Amino acid sequence: MLVWLCESKSDAEIATVLGQSRLTTSTHVRNIMAKLGVESRLAATLSTIRRVLMAN
């Protein structure tokens, strides 16, 4: 799900791919952002990029 979030997919688009409701997807996205300690999708993307670059 984080990959799709980083690709700027909407909750509705992610929900369709995963075969779940938009509300469930929205909850998962909020939980991911909380675990990353960010408040926006852009910040989640940047945090993910930083983590991947630091792991290499």
Place of tokens 């939980």: 31
Q: What are 46's two structure tokens?
A: 């940047």
What are the tens digits of pLDDT across the range 27-45?
A: 999 999 999 999 999 999 9
What are the tens digits of pLDDT across the range 9-25?
A: 999 999 999 999 999 99
Domains and CATH numbers, the chain: 2-55 (1.10.10.10)
Q: Does residue 14 contact residue 44 with C-beta atoms inside 8 Å?
A: no
Collapsing DSSP states into helix, strand and coil, what is residue 13? helix
- The reported pTM is 0.84
pLDDT at 56 over 90: no
